[in-house]
Amino acid sequence: MSGYRIGIDVGGTNTDAVVLDEELAVVASVKRPTTADTGDGVADAIDAVLEASGVDPALVSHAMLGTTHCTNAIVERRGLGRVGILRLGAPATTAVPPLEGWPSDLRQAIGEHAYVLDGGFEVDGRTLSALDEDAVRAACERMRGEVDAVAVVGVFSPIDESQEERVAEIVASELGVPVSRSARIGSLGLLERENATVLNAALMRTLTRMASGFVAALRDRGIPATPYFGQNDGTLMQLEYALEFPVLTIGCGPTNSIRGAAHLSGATDALVVDIGGTTTDIGVLTDGFPRQSAHAVEIGGIRTNFRMPDVLSVGLGGGTIVRDAGARIGPDSVGYRLPQEGLAFGGGTLTATDIALRIGAASIEGVDAPSVDEAVAEAAWAGIRALLEDSVDRMKPSAAPVPVILVGGGGIIAPASLDGVSELIKPDHFGAANAVGAALGDVAGQVEKIYRVDGTEQGRRAARADASQDAVERARLAGADPTSIEVVAVEELPAAYSDGQQVLIRARAVGRLAA
């Protein structure tokens, strides 16, 4: 593929940007403070990395963005769209209404339009209740002008999507707003799948605004690149696909770092420790890709069941505040205000970066080690080491020492060696591994579906083939070159709540970026 690539990763403290050449080698990398309006920080990072690389903007063919924007919108209850919820499950599911257990402030941000209508299926595929199209239209009339998107959730819809598809058609015709369908997002469990679908609908407007700023920043600089967003399995999706499934951008920060660490170090199996300004994220690299979590994941206090990386986050970063004479490390941080508030920069707050400078484990050009009592510095340094070692132990597959790839701008606060670690690898450009991971360019499609099989091998093969074909199609829609797409994994599991004739099949297909 011809042309350069720009990769950008927006973190809580810094926005990192890199330029990769046609061979995926790093030409230049920069780090700029994340701004209150993240679009300003992205634009600054693009300007800086173009200047550092000397690359003609007209030669940049692809631009990739990994962002915490959607995660922050949920956590901060800011910028979310109003969602109408249509659950197809009456009368069987009326005991637990939609949004049950949600924090009141998040419920308020979403809105109060939630309806439980006739519909849904049994676990064996039989109709639980017939769809009432008149009731759907009546609900649309009540939501008219008051919602930005609609979430459609059917009981056992991963087994049969037909009712969700029909309701989506009606909503699009009646209201003309985006529709989020649960069978395309989550797995079997109703409430967790519903939660993920509602969050996806609420984020559609959020990511659209972010994407508009990103595209405008590229066009204003004469960059003709095709825009892509990072998704939470370490791969990419093109703009249109991301706007349909914005919830898939959640978790892309850690996965970008894991993918970037693999590329920069050449390792395929290791732990990746990504130390930022606010947190340390530890993930597992398996065959060059992040390991996915097998458990339901809470986001902003909401339990969901869509795919997410298996990552441990701890409150340790370059801006982590040190208190009690070095005895207490964080978890709070000065974040992107480190250059103003850290002791070494003339501020009044003792941070983990100050400790690393005082101990002599790190150096920053033009910055002197701060004056910190030796006993305080040693106690804090021991605390930082213990926190990292304990976190690594929690993610190791066994008690045996494992290789660790250290990345992230806050990596300067890590000791040169850690107990339980066979090798500590700090590759070139380690501070921008997240942006490198965003730019690498694999595009994936993943499907998780329930099939009813007759118990014969032929029936199981047909189910696996159907799931694989669906995964290939999703990869194509996400922006993969159809000629390069390969099915890389097909997993068959017994389906919960079933009579033994249903199986859960997960299929994943990966391809290169379309030219």
Domain boundary among 146, 179, 202: 202
- Asked if 198 and 99 touch (Cβ cutoff 8 Å), the reply is yes
Tell whether 244 is covered by a domain: no
Q: The tokens of 10 are what?
A: 């927006």
Look at residues 328, 324, 349 and name the one whose alpha carbon lies nearest to residue 338: 349
How far apart are alpha carbons 252 and 43 in whole angstroms? 20
Question: pLDDT-based confidence at 1, cuts 50/70/90?
Answer: very low
pLDDT reported for residue 506: 86
What tens digit of pLDDT does each residue of 184-240 get?
Answer: 887 778 899 999 999 999 999 989 988 888 999 999 999 998 899 988 877 888 889
Look at residues 436, 475, 388 and name the one whose alpha carbon lies nearest to residue 66: 436
Kind plus residue range of the DSSP H or E element containing 474:
helix 457-478
Tell whether 187 is covered by a domain: yes
With 0-12 / 13-18 / 19 or more C-beta atoms within 10 angstroms meaning exposed / middle / buried, residue 371 is exposed
What tens digit of pLDDT does each residue of 115-144 get?
Answer: 999 999 987 778 899 999 999 999 999 999
Question: pLDDT-based confidence at 23, cuts 50/70/90?
Answer: confident
Tell whether 42 is covered by a domain: no
Look at residues 214, 218, 212 and name the one whose alpha carbon lies nearest to residue 4: 218
Q: The tokens of 291 are what?
A: 């390991």
Q: HEC string of 192-259?
A: HHHHHHHHHHHHHHHHHHHHHHHHHHHHHCCCCCEEEEECCCCCEEEHHHHHHCHHHHCCHHHHHHHH
What tens digit of pLDDT does each residue of 386-420 get?
Answer: 999 999 999 988 888 999 999 988 888 999 889 99
Q: How far is CA 244 from CA 101, 175, 239, 268, 474, in A?
A: 26, 17, 9, 31, 12
Q: The tokens of 431 are what?
A: 């501070």
- Asked if 4 and 21 touch (Cβ cutoff 8 Å), the reply is yes
What tens digit of pLDDT does each residue of 324-337 get?
Answer: 988 999 888 887 78
Tell whether 321 is covered by a domain: no
What tens digit of pLDDT does each residue of 40-99 get?
Answer: 888 999 999 999 999 999 999 999 998 877 877 887 788 899 999 999 999 989 999 999
Tally of structural domains, the chain = 2
Look at residues 449, 451, 447, 515 and name the one whose alpha carbon lies nearest to residue 475: 447
Q: How far is CA 510 from CA 20, 310, 443, 485, in A?
A: 21, 20, 6, 5
Average pLDDT along the chain: 88
Tell whether 460 is covered by a domain: yes
Domain boundary among 162, 184, 202: 202
Tell whether 108 is covered by a domain: yes
Q: How many CB atoms lie within 10 A of CB 408?
A: 31
- CATH number assigned to the domain comprising residue 178: 3.40.250
pLDDT reported for residue 75: 75
Structural domain range at position 450: 441-512
Q: Which residue has the higher pLDDT, 133 or 451?
A: 133
Look at residues 431, 472, 442 and name the one whose alpha carbon lies nearest to residue 230: 442
Domain boundary among 176, 202, 228: 202
Q: Is the pTM of this model over 0.85?
A: no
pLDDT reported for residue 322: 94
pLDDT reported for residue 498: 58
Tell whether 62 is covered by a domain: no
